[in-house]
Amino acid sequence: MAAPSLEAPRSTPYRRSTSRRSNYEMYSWLFMRLSGAVLVVLVIGHLFVNLMVGDGISGLDFGFVAGKWASPFWQVWDLAMLWLAMIHGSNGVRTIINDYAQRDMTRIVLKTLVLVALVFTVVLGTLVIFTFEPCPVGPDGAFLEGVPSFCTS
Amino acid sequence: MATETSTRSVVPQGTLYRGREGMWSWVAHRITGLLIFVFLLVHVLDTSLVRVAPEAYNAVIETYKNPVVGLGEAGLVGAVLFHAFNGIRVMLVDFWSQGPRFHRQMLWAVGALWVLLMVPFLVRHLSNVFGG
Ligand code: HEM
Ligand code: HEM
């Protein structure tokens, strides 16, 4: 008589879960933590340089921005901060909407608004950094009112 | 210690997000995150005035230089610092093996760090806002 045999598993390869959903929420969770770690440096650095160093808040004007964006270092800094903070913030607000908005329609409308705000703000902010002109001239070829002093010297 | 024991029997222990510090820090994290997000939308919009004209940007920045906005900026910085340090705390709870055990102590560390940075910041910022 043959030895008793075990039935083969029903499915191969063996799966613990029958769910075939994507891992989107897991990546979103991970992104919140990774972007947060980078944002600590970017945002606190931004606040320190603009509010603590030099004249602090009293020193902010067009010339201050021109001085910073003359350097690719601060351009890249602000660009990374813009993208990471906006995606991190929008994704966080998405979670909040999912938690509190109960009707399907309300959720769809609110999340669409967040997406529009995200795309609009990131595009606008990116264009501003890349097209910034420290010494703008008017149609008559003369410098506009309020350009920093280094333009004229 | 009698009260301590009786609270213990009512509030389930080993709970991270229900009641007490775990829950209130989460509420504060949520409110500060939302606040910073709304600020950022306005902030990028007004910074974009540098592409309109130097005078346009300077005019708007000038209207911000008053005590009301100055105090608002102080509140924003307070919110950012809390959200940032508490965010690190959340990461430690999630990734550090001892994190869940020390989550309460870490909230105290967040508070201590917050006070440590807010004091010199407020001295500097408020003397700019209210001084000459
Ligand atoms: C009271 C506090 C703040 C002040 C006075 C301030 C001031 C400024 C100034 C003067 C600029 C022009 C460029 C530069 O200096 O780098 C700027 C740009 C920027 N700031 Fe802030 N900032 C503050 C808070 C924040 C916070 C909390 C965030 C992040 C959540 C942030 C994100 C940005 C971004 C992304 C840009 C680039 C904007 C663009 O691409 O057009 N700022 N900020
Ligand atoms: C400064 C560094 C930052 C760190 C370390 C950080 C960290 C975090 C972490 C770890 C979470 C996930 C919390 C959870 O899953 O329970 C989170 C959520 C969130 N963050 Fe940040 N964040 C930072 C900056 C920002 C900025 C600049 C904004 C706004 C533009 C923002 C808005 C939010 C929002 C709205 C949430 C969702 C809150 C919730 O679901 O309750 N954060 N943050």
Question: For residue A83, how far is its CA from the centre of ligand 2 (angstroms)?
Answer: 14
pLDDT at A119 over 80: yes
Q: Tell which wins on pLDDT, A13 or A64.
A: A64
Query: What confidence tier does A63 reach under pLDDT thresholds 50, 70, 90?
Result: very high
Tell me the count of A-B CB pairs closer than 8 A.
108
The yes-or-no verdict on residue A38 having pLDDT over 50 is: yes
Q: Is residue B122 less than 8 Å (CB to CB) from chain A?
A: no
Pairwise CA distance, residues A131 & A63, whole Å? 16
The reply to whether residue B34 touches residue A93, judged by beta carbons under 8 angstroms, is yes
What is the structure's pLDDT at A14? 60
Residue ranges of domains in chain A: 30-135
What count of residues does chain A have?
153
Decide: A122 in ligand 1 pocket, CB within 6 A. no
If you average pLDDT over every residue of chain A, what do you get? 91
Domain B21-131 bears CATH identifier 1.20.1300: yes
| Closest CA–CA distance from residue B43 to any residue of chain A (Å) | 10
Among A47, A65, A97, A119, most B C-beta atoms within 10 A, so best to mutate, is A47
Give the whole-number percent of chain A exceeding pLDDT 90: 71
Pocket of ligand 2 (CB under 6 A): A 32-33, 36, 39-40, 43, 85, 88-89, 92-93, 95-96; B 29-30, 33-34, 36-37, 40, 83-84, 87-88, 90-91
What per-residue confidence (pLDDT) applies to B1? 40
Say if CB B117 and CB B81 are below 8 A apart. Answer: yes
The position carrying tokens 């910074």 is B47
Nearest to A134 by CA among B44, B60, B57, B21: B57
Smallest Cβ–Cβ distance between A36 and the set B40, B73, B91 belongs to B91
For A37, the token pair is 């770690």
Whether B114 has its CB under 8 Å from any CB of chain A: the answer is no
What pLDDT does residue A5 have? Answer: 82
Ligand 2 pocket: which of B16, B17, B29 to mutate (most atoms within 8 A of CB):
B29
Q: Given CB atoms, is A117 within the 8 Å cutoff of chain B? A: yes
State the ipTM, two decimals: 0.84
- Extents of the domains making up chain B: 21-131
Residue in this structure with the two tokens 């009786």, named with its chain if needed: B6
Q: Alpha-carbon Rg of chain A, whole angstroms?
A: 26
Q: What is the mean predicted confidence (pLDDT) over B76-96?
A: 97
Confidence (pTM): 0.89
Tell me what pLDDT residue B2 has. 43
Residues 6+ apart with CB under 8 A from A52: B120, B121, B124
The number of beta carbons lying within 10 Å of the beta carbon of residue B108 is: 11
Residue with CA nearest ligand 2 atom 12: A32
Q: Quick one: pLDDT at residue B21?
A: 78
Q: In the numeric block, which tokens belong to residue A52?
A: 């603590």
Whether chain A has a CB inside 8 Å of the CB on B70: the answer is: yes
Q: Where does A30-135 sit in CATH, by number?
A: 1.20.1300.10
Query: Who's near B58: CB < 8 A, 6+ residues apart?
Result: A61, A62, A146
The DSSP 8-state label assigned to residue A148 in this structure reads -
Question: Any CB–CB contact under 8 A between B43 and chain A?
Answer: no
Q: What's the mean pLDDT in B82-99?
A: 95
